[in-house]
Structure 1
Amino acid sequence: MTQVHLPDPVVRPPDRPDVDLDAFSRALRDRVNGEVRFDRGTRAAYSTDASNFRQVPLGVVLPHTPEDAVEALAVAREFGAPVLSRGGGTSLAGQCTNTALVLDWSKYCTRLESVDERARTCVVQPGIVLDELNRQLADTGLRYGPEPATHMNCTLGGMIGNNSCGATAQRTGKVVDNIARLEVVLADGTRFWCGETTDEEYAAIERRGDARAAVYRQLRALRDEYADEIRRRFPDIPRRVSGYNLDSLLPEHHFDVAGLLVGSESTLVTVLRAELELVPVLPERTLVVLGYPDIASAADAVPSILPHEPVALEGVDHKLIRDQQIKDMNPQALAELPRGRAFLMVQFAADTHDEADRQAHRMLEALHDTENEADVEFLDDPARENELWQVREAGLGATAHLPGRADTFEGWEDSAVAPERLGEYLRKLTALYEEFGYAGETGPSLYGHFGQGCVHTRIPFDLYSADGVATYRRFMERAADLVAELGGSFSGEHGDGQSRGELLPKMFGEEIVRAFGRLKAIFDPDDRMNPGKVVAPYRLDEHLRLGGDWAPADPHDLHFRFPDDGGSFAQAANRCVGVGRCRQHTTDGGEVMCPSYQVTGEEEHSTRGRARLLFEMLNGHGDSPVGDGWRSTEVRDALDLCLACKGCKTDCPANVDMATYKAEFLAHHYEGRPWRRPRSDFTMGWLPAFAGVVGRLRAGKVVNALTHTPGLSRLATLLAGVEDREIPLFAGETLQQWFARRRPAEGARGTVLLWPDTFTNTFHPHIGRAAVRVLEDAGWRVTMPLEPQCCALTWISTGQLGVAKHILARTVRTLAPHLREGGLVVGLEPSCTAVFRSDAFELFPGDQDVRRLRAQTVTFAELLTEHSPGYRPPRLDAKAIAQVHCHQHAVLGWDADQRLLAAAGVDASRLDSGCCGLAGNFGFEKGHLEVSEACAERVLLPRVREADGDTVVLADGFSCRTQIHQLDSGGREGVHLAELLASALGDEPERPKVRGRAAMAAGLALGAAAAAGAGVARWRRR
């Protein structure tokens, strides 16, 4: 046999490559089909992943096809630039952050190229999201088995890079167990398909004598030299993900080169395509939840459960449950848990419901009267099972930021041991927490894939001070010693990256780590593929996103007080933990976040991307590509397509509230230079003032007549700086004017104040009239302010916060007497109601009347279900689809509406449509029309068009009704809940019938111009 010389291991790379970025970016634009971005905003958005680390990339390429990525690699090779191949960017160990050219596959390279149902395989491009792949496979009865908790946004390329697993790995194994072949390209341009290799196939490859043959010869020589050491040092456990998969080259694994490359974290090759092995869908599932006195006792029971072959076996402790209760996450699911302070979630699956139940009963019978018997909750309702499963999947977000607690971090979040040693490991790990001062009742929660010995946690490391970082390093070293002693793996599915790469000698020994370095040199001798990760790694305490030297320019002249972040904008911007939930491609489950990403696929238009830019804006490391502070045009541009829907406030596991951050940023960005604001900020932001003038002058009909004059409507929208859209007409009489000329009914239940928001008062007063009829029918005496009032929503959303605070403070003073008597305030418009329940408190957290307003503001449905005992709504026996307003979803909730509709006999189905796309002023602002319409066309409008003629379209939000009205919805109109209930009382109030091009902007520019100066001044002084 010919002697094969193996290369020496690679050496540690320089921190920053010497690359002519201007020439590099020009060459990429000339030669690569795709988007090439070297701008400061993009580089800031990609500066970190979900880890503790931060490195600003050289630039980003979004290839249109895998072949475009090959060309980008060729250009990078010519310029000596390192490359990082990235999927969903959710890596927790620092794999997806580097000073390199980032290839982002997730926007365009998302195709399922072929399916072979007979062979149970499919070929995919790296950017396809797991949930989307399984949706496309649904008709085949097959699916891809491994399913991480981030399945709604993780890409297959990222899963291959990390060797992902998830809860389903109990049945299907890791990604390495479910890969048939990979198409890869090396840093030098060598490109081939690889997989298991028979001796005959190996001989055929070697005979070619090409670059691939040289690689295969060296791989076989490496295997032969280290085979005994590999068998001796590689842990024989289900969840060994740390290190490279050298064991895949052993004869017993058929010299599987694809298996070797799985989990290599973009450090060896770039994956262009993957042939995946699929598994049959088991349609019926049964979940058994077992309660134990503590988490270690739950772990002790795992070996007795495994012989019953559950498809998933997860563990959670009481701290994770407590953390979710604090955040009010998954409340219905938490109520399903049995007694105990730790829980095992044991799932069985089969082709029939009865068989799944039988498997569960057999397990319970075997555990009966043994030391592992537990308190039991038996669930065989899929809806209840899914709710409870969310408890486990929400682990990272639930433990990230808790009020009054120290922040928690990854680092040692993914260790694994043999299942039979899991209880021992958890006891020793808990002792280690205590030794380092991380323990206690408020210490780290423990949860994970217990059936395979994998433990997840987030630890309250102090990564803000030099001493804290030094303690973090000592803990990591001690924890690594503990896992190595127990024969475990530092990573059970998240990979090594930078967090654990430096520690690998403790697990594998120096010889195997040397073999890793030589493997790296076979594929990437110049260390251009994601350098500094896994092999010749950066230290685990360098390139930290925070660190002892992090010194952000944290502003103090804030409008919002950020009470949940200690008054710190820097801490608010640092909330994002990078899991990418905002990058979801559907709104299954009624989620809203993040509408702009859903239609653009852009990292900068996700909540995460915007949070990264805000973090970088504060320039805590002195090298940020976004260093202009509040004046940053990059941050402004990234926030421009934020709809301020507030979906992230609830849907984001870390409760990032981008709508609030946007308002705060815009206030400072334009401070002292209002002439730089777009005109729409004034026409839309000051809408309540102008609408108040038009209403007081009873000029609505005049304004509407002017706006219907041919040619004038378009001129008016141009003058107002808004999109050329159809906009609702002013009402001839406001709600306040109607209410002032009627005698309120006496109510046995007492007095309630109905808030006359601008949209109801001046555009849709028929909704207010309907609400008054229903409330009086329910026994309430209704009152309302009769002078112009406003919650300041439009000033908040346009970032005119100085004016907003002035107006809101005046409103609170007006409402104070009613509030101090304990009176309730009922809101009809969800966005305005949400201001009283959320924004007002965040602007004035110390004001007692604001606190009363927050506590005593209720929705229409809440008043009738929670504050009107014995009330029965009129019977309707109707069918409805409901477009829930974003702010209602995020702040108010829809549970009360659902109960009220059910009591009225309405079969209501909530649309999984997310944001309607209008979002207050957003859809009217210049440049937003395309995104606004795309949001509506994703789910909302198709479902409205498909609805039966007798199906009611419920839409409490003015924006939602406007979007349904003015886009092609087949002539359907949205109906407020108050209207629907009032329709059952007879003599329904008259509803406006006019359609056509109204122009609120024209009304503002033409009809109200004469009165604006004096009228608005008087309005503000009141």
Structure 2
Amino acid sequence: METLGMSPSKEQEYKDIEADLKKRIEGEVRFDKYSRLLYSTDASMYEIEPIGVVIPRHKGDVQAAIETAKRFEVPILPRGGGTALAGQTVGHAIVLDFSKYMNRVLEVNQEELWCRVEPGLVQDELNAHVRPMGLLFGPDTSTSNRATIGGMIGNNSAGAHSLTYGKTLDHVLELTVYLSDGSEVVLKDLSFGELGAKVAQDNLEGRIYREIARLAEEHKQEILARYPKIMRRVSGYNLDEFAKPKPFNLSRMVVGSEGTLACVVEAKMRLVPKPKWTALDVIHFEDDIAALEASHAILETAPYALESTDKLVLDLARGNIVQSKRLGFVQGSPSSLLMVEYAGDTEAAVREQVDKLEKLRQSRKIGYAATQAFKPEEVRAVWGVRKAGLGLLLGIKGDKKPIAFVEDTAVEPAKLPEFIKRFREILTRHDARAGYYGHCSVGCMHIRPLINLKQEGEVKKMVAIADEIAELVLEFHGALSGEHGDGLARSHFNERLYGPVLYNAFRQIKRSFDPNNLMNPGKIVDAPAMTESLRISPAYKTWAPETLLDFSGQGGFAAAVEMCSGMGECRKKLDGTMCPSYMATLDEEHSTRGRANALRAVLSGKVPNRDFSGKRLYEVLDLCLECKACKAECPSNVDMAKLKYEFLSHYYRANGLPLRNRLFGRIEKWNRWGSRLAPFSNWLANSRPNRWLLELLAGVDRRRPLPRFARETFEDWHRNHRPEGKESRGEVVLFHDTFNTFNTPSVAITATLLLERSGYRVVVPEKRCCGRPMISKGMLREAKENAAKNVQSLFPYAERGVAIVGLEPSCLLTLRDEYPDLLRTQASKLVARQSFLLEEFLLRERDAGRLSLAFKSNGRKALLHGHCHQKALVGTAPTLAVLRWAGFEVSEIDSGCCGMAGSFGFEKEHYDLSVAIANRRLVPAVQASGSEVRVVASGISCRQQIEHLADRRAKHPAEVLWEQVEK
């Protein structure tokens, strides 16, 4: 293990702990510096380096880790998705990451409506498992695609539908846990006799039962007086649950305890019937307080959910690639939206409920407009924007960030408008702007003031705001946390909120479960000040590497790294593209967040500056496929591909450029020679001796078929081509990429014929390779030379307004995305603006009335796999629209990345991962389609992967469009 800055005695202790764990753990034990840094943060403002990380394979590993922690007298900290907003999952402890292996559904009982699961199971994955049974797990956090059930139990999470389903506490039936002495116990409803037996036990479990029963009875009156009488309260311990006439169930104390009392290894959870139909009425307001005041009347209509979001969130959504496409339901520029959802057994039933609300809205003049969403895709779009609220706010550029410290207050819903007015007055006095969104139905609003934690005065402002808001919460008999928990941000307020008597009872609860204070200490009781262990603080400093790419739009390279807020959207697995390597490995190191944390550690001095060109950072970034999905799907728009390009440039300048990088980076040169020497080159390239030699010398996996060279290149064909028909619509430049020139010229040929049939004269200019292969391999200086030559060639056309049309998304979009960053010139920006994918161009011309094509009406079916760069920068909507225009009944695979990523899938150390990524969703979807379905993919790498693994030939959109044209 690496022990930078550690005393010799502490270093030896950590080595002993690591050795002890490795002897006993069947899972993974990681004590290296980078692994510790990756687990030093979560989605909060805090950073504490752990002692080490254990990734248990089964509950025996958990028990062994707890016993080791007890033996060495060091803390233990259970962790799920690391999405905690208050710092619950960071600490100087042995971190247990349950998300990689302990993530199974163990049992589902459809008749009795319950399931047994492991704590690392993600909420959306549980719902995907039980949805075919007509069931769901009720609490639904905005982080449902990466939040684990164990984390929801530890936090007592709720979500948008808590109005209907309540909190996680209301759905926990039974927990299997390990106590601080390593003993395994089951916590469930006990009869009077069973409770008596537990109380009589002469062990830690017995002591806990005796103490909780005593404290609940002794403090019954104080509990009634001090606990907020609202549904949304998760601060402190749930001692109030034991003052109610219910069967004694100690799981209710563990829920919401943030890992400070016990470690959950299995949970029996209640399930609920899934509504058959849902619909939304989205009401628009010119004033956000008016929206909150209207919510009381709307609640009388018994909605399924009632949520609010403000103008700041909507404005940020407009600037986000993914969210901007979902905003079709927004009318005008509202100050606030209320999203009112109804559920029922039939579509007619929910339509009736929406109609009733509309009559109420119009009679009482509620809002200035409303949009109804009945179709599932419309409902998903609205919820997508609402769930993205947190991430969108965190993506605000600059040093002032929306910080989570008073973002989870809750009061009685009827008091909410007045409470928010007072809250806003406090922020105004402190000159603090904030974003507002949340669960107005239950009085819990998420308000995040923008604070610059790099400035001492701003940190003091944060403390002052927190202090005043705590007093405001007390005045309104509310809670400082309605669902996000105490953690490091709020635990220090618990004595003030609950009073000294109950706070002392909390301490006794903690001691009864954890006499040696080893279970995630410093949370809920005996917490440090909220300003300790800040990730970004006045002491935080970064150094800035000199970059070849332009990062000024992000505020510099370090600021581009700091765009990552830690919220972990990159850990989702079921949909989208981000992050393909995480989806396949389930390893924090191979998530966008993990990579950003590693880069930030180097830039901020947590590890030496020389690591910026070091092997360990290279390993962390190595499995980034440069798909750009994070640029679109990360709500904060972290562009990890761009960061990796820059890193690789520095890394190879320091360590030398490998042979394989030279081969792949200069692929145009080799392809040109390959075509000249074809067919001999095809025989030679794929001969067994050559494949063995390529694997030995350059690490090109011999299992992967190499692309074939065309004897007649597209350039050869075009030189001899004589267009037929009229060229009445002027010029169009065809940017013929390397692959469609030398490997699959049929694509460029059919694109040319299609454009000519559309009435354009196709110009094929002198050019170089776009530079994409060089950029991907860290050869930025060579890529810049190519970019400059290409812009010089293309600029005269762009200046005249001539469109530059490309066929390979990764190549054409290099002109749009990387050229302005490489060259930083107005000419490159103009070329970028005039560059279009073929489908974009055809659609633009048709919609402008300048183009009409006659297609066969044979009703063929098509299955589209979108290219990653296209999905991130353009979207697949133009391709879908053009295919439908051509008469195809087309559906799109939610396939994520194909796993090839240019050269990545050819590389020996990456081949298996490349195959695993494709086999997750893409290959099964293609194999499930009938032979009559045309598989369409614009990327050559995508088509290669589909043919290699699914044994189907996918075609480029240009090819299938040309097939459909009436000749």
Report the TM range for the smaller structure's normalisation.
Answer: over 0.9
Q: Deviations over 1:381-413 (max 9, x none)?
A: 222111111111110111122357843222222
Q: Deviations over 1:162-211 (max 9, x none)?
A: 11001111101000111111111111123211133343221121233332
Q: 1:197 to 1:250 in 2, by over 3 A?
A: farther
Task: Tell me the amino acid that sits aligned with residue 472 of structure 1.
Answer: M
- What displacement does 1:45 show? 1.2
Whether the 8 Å CA contact 2:686–2:706 is kept in 1: the answer is no
- What displacement does 1:44 show? 1.6
Q: 1:254 to 1:307 in 2, by over 3 A?
A: farther
Gaps spanning 5+ residues in structure 2: where? 1-8
Match of 1:632 among 614, 618, 628: 614
Counterpart for residue 853 of structure 1 = 831
Q: SS at 2:401's partner residue? A: coil
- What displacement does 1:353 show? 1.8
Match of 1:353 among 336, 342, 347: 347
1:563 is the counterpart of 2:552: yes
2-structure distance, mates of 1:375, 1:99: 51
1-structure distance, mates of 2:300, 2:245: 25
1-structure distance, mates of 2:112, 2:63: 29
Q: Deviations over 1:873-923 (max 9, x none)?
A: 342431110110101111122111111111111111111111101010111
Q: SS at 2:95's partner residue? A: strand
Q: Deviations over 1:224-246 (max 9, x none)?
A: 22221111111011211111111
TM-score, normalization by structure 2: 0.96
Counterpart for residue 668 of structure 2 = 688
- What displacement does 1:512 show? 1.9
Counterpart for residue 807 of structure 2 = 828
Match of 2:133 among 134, 137, 140: 140
Match of 1:599 among 584, 609, 612: 584
1:392 is the counterpart of 2:377: no
State which drifts further: 220-229 or 877-886. 220-229
Match of 1:980 among 952, 960, 966: 960
Q: Deviations over 1:27-74 (max 9, x none)?
A: 111111111111222112111000000011111111111222111111
Task: Tell me the amino acid that sits aligned with residue 563 of structure 1.
Answer: S
Q: SS at 1:20's partner residue? A: helix
Q: SS at 2:447's partner residue? A: coil
Match of 1:469 among 459, 464, 469: 459
Counterpart for residue 573 of structure 1 = 561
2-structure distance, mates of 1:810, 1:563: 24
Counterpart for residue 61 of structure 2 = 68
- What displacement does 1:118 show? 2.4
2-structure distance, mates of 1:290, 1:735: 55
1:585 is the counterpart of 2:573: yes
1:614 is the counterpart of 2:613: no
Report the identity percentage.
Answer: 36
2-structure distance, mates of 1:841, 1:425: 48
Q: Deviations over 1:607-628 (max 9, x none)?
A: 111111111111x2x4x25764
Q: Deviations over 1:394-451 (max 9, x none)?
A: 1011112235784322222211111001111111122222111113xxxx22110110
Q: 1:873 to 1:432 in 2, by over 3 A?
A: farther
Counterpart for residue 510 of structure 1 = 500
Counterpart for residue 103 of structure 2 = 110
1:790 is the counterpart of 2:769: yes
Counterpart for residue 291 of structure 2 = 298
2-structure distance, mates of 1:30, 1:505: 42
Whether the 8 Å CA contact 1:874–1:981 is kept in 2: the answer is no
Whether the 8 Å CA contact 1:248–1:254 is kept in 2: the answer is no
C-alpha RMSD of the superposition: 1.9
Q: Deviations over 1:739-798 (max 9, x none)?
A: 122235652111111001111111111100000000011111100124x51110011001
Q: SS at 1:923's partner residue? A: helix
Counterpart for residue 628 of structure 2 = 646
Matching of residues 754-903 of structure 1 within 5 Å: 754-786=734-766, 788-845=767-824, 847-868=825-846, 869-870=848-849, 871-876=851-856, 877-903=859-885
- What displacement does 1:461 show? 0.3
Task: Tell me the amino acid that sits aligned with residue 912 of structure 1.
Answer: D
- What displacement does 1:152 show? 1.0
1-structure distance, mates of 2:655, 2:264: 49
Counterpart for residue 435 of structure 1 = 429
2-structure distance, mates of 1:892, 1:359: 38
Task: Tell me the amino acid that sits aligned with residue 939 of structure 1.
Answer: R
- What displacement does 1:100 show? 0.7
1-structure distance, mates of 2:134, 2:921: 25
Q: Deviations over 1:340-365 (max 9, x none)?
A: 42121111111222222233333444
1-structure distance, mates of 2:447, 2:61: 39
- What displacement does 1:679 show? 2.8
Whether the 8 Å CA contact 1:43–1:625 is kept in 2: the answer is no
Matching of residues 83-482 of structure 1 within 5 Å: 83-338=76-331, 340-370=334-364, 372=366, 375-403=369-397, 406-439=400-433, 444-482=434-472
State which drifts further: 109-118 or 359-368. 359-368
2-structure distance, mates of 1:716, 1:907: 43
The 4+ residue runs of structure 1 with deviation greater than 6 A are: 16-19
Q: 1:403 to 1:523 in 2, by over 3 A?
A: closer
State which drifts further: 871-880 or 131-140. 871-880
Whether the 8 Å CA contact 1:289–1:343 is kept in 2: the answer is yes
Whether the 8 Å CA contact 1:186–1:269 is kept in 2: the answer is yes
1-structure distance, mates of 2:77, 2:927: 44
Task: Tell me the amino acid that sits aligned with residue 264 of structure 1.
Answer: S
Q: Deviations over 1:435-473 (max 9, x none)?
A: 11113xxxx221101100111133210101112211111
- What displacement does 1:93 show? 0.4
Whether the 8 Å CA contact 1:882–1:955 is kept in 2: the answer is yes
Counterpart for residue 734 of structure 1 = 713
Counterpart for residue 917 of structure 2 = 935
2-structure distance, mates of 1:148, 1:565: 29
Whether the 8 Å CA contact 2:494–2:525 is kept in 1: the answer is no
Task: Tell me the amino acid that sits aligned with residue 653 of structure 2.
Answer: E
Task: Tell me the amino acid that sits aligned with residue 531 of structure 1.
Answer: P
- What displacement does 1:691 show? 2.2
2-structure distance, mates of 1:305, 1:197: 40
User: Which one has more relative contact order, counting CA pairs under 8 Å at least 6 apart?
Assistant: 1
Counterpart for residue 1005 of structure 1 = none
1:748 is the counterpart of 2:728: yes
Whether the 8 Å CA contact 1:17–1:82 is kept in 2: the answer is no
Whether the 8 Å CA contact 1:73–1:187 is kept in 2: the answer is yes
Q: 1:166 to 1:762 in 2, by over 3 A?
A: same
Whether the 8 Å CA contact 1:917–1:936 is kept in 2: the answer is yes
Whether the 8 Å CA contact 1:145–1:279 is kept in 2: the answer is yes
Whether the 8 Å CA contact 2:291–2:337 is kept in 1: the answer is yes
Q: SS at 1:346's partner residue? A: strand
- What displacement does 1:585 show? 1.5
Task: Tell me the amino acid that sits aligned with residue 395 of structure 1.
Answer: G
Q: SS at 1:388's partner residue? A: helix
1-structure distance, mates of 2:321, 2:908: 38
2-structure distance, mates of 1:477, 1:854: 50
Whether the 8 Å CA contact 1:235–1:487 is kept in 2: the answer is yes
Whether the 8 Å CA contact 1:727–1:966 is kept in 2: the answer is no
1-structure distance, mates of 2:178, 2:472: 38
Q: Deviations over 1:725-746 (max 9, x none)?
A: 1011111122112112223565
Q: 1:195 to 1:627 in 2, by over 3 A?
A: farther
Whether the 8 Å CA contact 2:394–2:565 is kept in 1: the answer is yes
Task: Tell me the amino acid that sits aligned with residue 565 of structure 1.
Answer: Q
- What displacement does 1:694 show? 4.0
Q: Deviations over 1:291-337 (max 9, x none)?
A: 22211111112222223221111011222211211334433542213
